[in-house]
Amino acid sequence: MEHIPVLLKESIDILLAGKGVVGGEGVLVDATFGGGGHSRGLLESSAPGVSVVAVDRDPEAVLRGQALISEFAYRFRLLAGNYADLTRLLDDAGIGKIDGLLLDIGLSSYQLEEGGRGFSFQSEGPLDMRMDPTTGEPAAMIVNQADCKTLTKIFRDFGEEPYAAAIARKIVESRSQKPFLTTRSLAALIEEMVPVYKHSRRHPATRVFQALRISVNDELSALRRVLEAGLERLECGARMVVISYHSLEDRLVKQVFRQASKGCVCPPRVPVCGCGQKQRVKILTGRGVRPQDSEIALNPRSRSACLRAIELL
Ligand SMILES: C[S@@+](CC[C@H](N)C(=O)[O-])C[C@H]1O[C@@H](n2cnc3c(N)ncnc32)[C@H](O)[C@@H]1O
C-alpha cells in the first residue's frame, strides 16, 4: 500500500512562505523521507532554484527514494541516517544553513504494513520494530530480557498504558515457558488481558506496541535532538514544521517550541536582564493544525496528526 502524505498542502504552504524560499532559492530539509510524498510535494511546488535534502534511517525508504533522485536530479538528495544526527549529516554533505525543515514523525504505511518489520500487532512477523534493522536491538530483546520494573516503565512512560504493571508481570511469567518471538504472540497475550471498551477504536495492544517502538528506536531523544539541531541550523526567517501522531511527541514539540519562543524570564522588578534568554522563534500555529474531515475520510491514518510550526527570528 502507498503512503498518503498527511497535511501535505498545509506543510508545503508554511515551508514555502519561509524567507529564503520565497526568493526562489534555498535548501529545504525533509528529515523523514518515508514514501517521499512531502519531498515530492516540496519539489513540485517550489522554484527550480530550491533544492530538497531528505533523510531517513530506514534503508528501505532510502532505496525507494532512488526514483525521485532520477526524476529531480540536481534538486534532490537523499541521506541515509538518523535525524538525531542532523548536524553531522548536513556537515558531511557540505550543507550549511538551511531554509526550512520538515519532520513528519512516526511510521510510514510501508513500515506498518510490511509484517516482516514487526511494527503491526495485526499481522504476524518477528518482534523487531527497528526502523533501521542494521543497528540496535529488536523489540524481542526487550520483551524477553528486561525485568518487570523496566517493562512497566516502558509501557507507562512511552505508551501511557493503564495496565502497564499487570502486562509486564504477565510477560515475565509467560516468557519463562516460551519466549515472545513474534508480534502476534505478544498481541494475543495483551488481547486476553486488556478490556476492549465498547466505543473505542483502539486495539488493546496499541499502547504497548507504541511504547516498544519508541523504546527500540529511542524516538523521543532523537526528536529532542533534531528539534535542537533545527533551531541552530535554520536561517533567520526560515520555518520548521513538525507533524506528530501522539501526545508524547506533540508535548515535546510544544515544549521545545514554547521555550524557544520565550524572551527574558527575569522578574519585572530586576532592572537589568540577568538570564540572557532571548526569543529565538515565533510560533506560527497556536494550538496546532489538525487535518480537515475530508482528509481524515480519505486517509484515516491522518486522524491523530497535529502540525506545529515556527519561524526563526
Ligand atoms: C510518517 S513517515 C514519513 C512519510 C513522508 N512524509 C511521506 O509523505 O511519504 C516517517 C518516516 O520517518 C522515518 N524516521 C523516523 N524516525 C527517524 C529518525 N530518527 N531518523 C530518520 N528517519 C526517521 C521513518 O523511517 C519513516 O520512513
- pLDDT tens digits in sequence order for the chain, 313 residues long: 788 999 999 999 999 999 989 889 999 999 999 999 999 999 999 999 999 999 999 999 999 999 999 999 899 999 999 999 999 999 999 999 999 999 999 899 999 988 899 999 988 999 999 999 999 999 999 999 999 999 999 999 999 999 999 999 999 999 999 999 999 999 999 999 887 766 677 889 999 999 999 999 999 999 999 999 999 999 999 999 999 999 999 999 999 999 999 998 888 888 888 888 899 999 999 999 999 999 999 999 999 999 999 999 9
Give distance in angstroms: CA of 186 to centre of ligand 1. 25
Determine if ligand 1 sits within 6 Å of the CB of residue 184.
no
From 43, 82, 131, 218, mutation site for ligand 1 pocket: most ligand atoms within 8 A of C-beta: 131
Burial class of 271 by CB neighbour count within 10 A (0 to 12, 13 to 18, 19+): exposed
Q: Cell 506543510 maps to which residue? A: 11
- Confidence (pLDDT) at 276: 87
> Which pairs from 283-287 meet CB under 8 Å and 24+ separation?
283/257, 283/258, 283/308, 283/309, 283/310, 284/14, 284/239, 284/309, 284/310, 284/311, 285/14, 285/309
Q: Which atom of ligand 1 is nearest to the CA of 226?
A: 19
Closest CA relative to residue 118, chosen from 168, 56, 171, 184: 184
* Cβ atoms within 10 Å of 92's Cβ, excluding its own: 11
The pLDDT assigned to 132 comes to 97
What is the identity of the amino acid at 164?
A: A
Paired residues of 141 in beta bridges? none
- Which CATH code is given to the segment(s) 132-216? 1.10.150.170
Q: Domain residues of the chain, as ranges? A: 8-110+219-312, 132-216
Pocket lining: 38 vs ligand 1, CB cutoff 6 Å: yes
- Tell me the pairing of strands 98-104 and 26-30: parallel
* 249 ligand 1 Cβ < 6 A: no
pLDDT attached to residue 198:
64
Q: What is the pLDDT of residue 129?
A: 97
d(CA 246, CA 211): 11
pTM of the model: 0.95
Q: Which protein residue has the closest C-alpha to ligand 1 atom 27?
A: 34
Rounded distance from Cα 272 to ligand 1 centre (Å): 45
- Any idea which architecture 8-110+219-312 has in CATH? 3-Layer(aba) Sandwich (3.40)
